[in-house]
Amino acid sequence: MRAVGTSVSQTGPRRNLDRRGPYSAAMSRAACLFALWIVLMPSVKPADLAFGVLATALATWTSLRLLQPSDGHLRLLALLALAPHFLWQSVLAGIDVARRAFDPRMPLAPGFVEFPVGFPPGLSRNTFAAITSLLPGSVPCGETGDTLVYHCLDCRLPNVEQLKREERLFGRALVSPKEPVEEDGND
């Protein structure tokens, strides 16, 4: 069984997500990597700090080569604000799977659902797919162009509508504070 969702508006999450530029991206990555160095090597000895600066510079250069700044960025505080929601979805997914495993009489209608995702290929789409793998009864299993394919335990459920809600929530963590966020009141 294959269900197809409706298209996402072009004014939604799909846009050039990183308008900060390479210098700003490099500085924020370097700050995070140096903070990680300090946590892992809690020493303020000059030799340790010098080595940490060198390791940070090399790691920042490598990260900029492997993951271009144009691939998008996350607003960390907005993403952290979504953590309780995604944690709750993960708990619900575990309960749902356990319930289905221990009650084989529970009706299932497994199949695939295609969801036209509004995020461009790269970091934002991959992160969205990883986060939506926590949804009850569904797991992303492929993509075709602008569509993510999900395997669902029950295709009779409103899977596409749930994915649309998750896309809107996650899109808020990707949108620059200067850009408007679509609101429809169904969150």
What would the pLDDT profile of 39-91 be if each residue is shown by its tens digit? 988 888 999 999 999 999 999 999 888 877 755 566 778 778 888 888 888 88
Burial class (CB in 10 A: 0-12, 13-18, 19+), 113: buried
Residue 115 has a pLDDT of 95
Residue type, 9: S
Say whether both 61 and 104 belong to one domain.
no
pTM score: 0.59
Say whether both 137 and 63 belong to one domain.
no
Say whether both 56 and 90 belong to one domain.
no
Residue type, 39: V
Say whether both 8 and 100 belong to one domain.
yes
In a domain, 187, yes or no: no
In a domain, 108, yes or no: yes
Give every CB contact of residue 122 below 8 A, 6+ residues apart in sequence. Answer: 71, 72
Pairing of strands 138-144, 111-116: unpaired
Q: If residue 162 lies in a helix (H) or strand (E), which one and from where to where? A: helix 159-172
Per-residue tokens: 99: 């319930």
Range of the domain at 32: 22-71
Say whether both 9 and 31 belong to one domain.
no
Where does the pLDDT of residue 107 fall: very low under 50, low under 70, confident under 90, or very high at 90 and above? Answer: confident
The pLDDT tens digits of the residues spanning 117-151 come to 988 887 778 888 988 888 888 899 998 888 999 99
In a domain, 160, yes or no: yes
Say whether both 88 and 126 belong to one domain.
yes
Q: pLDDT at residue 17 above 70?
A: no
Say whether both 116 and 34 belong to one domain.
no
The domain tally of the chain equals 2
Give every CB contact of residue 123 below 8 A, 6+ residues apart in sequence. Answer: 67, 71, 72
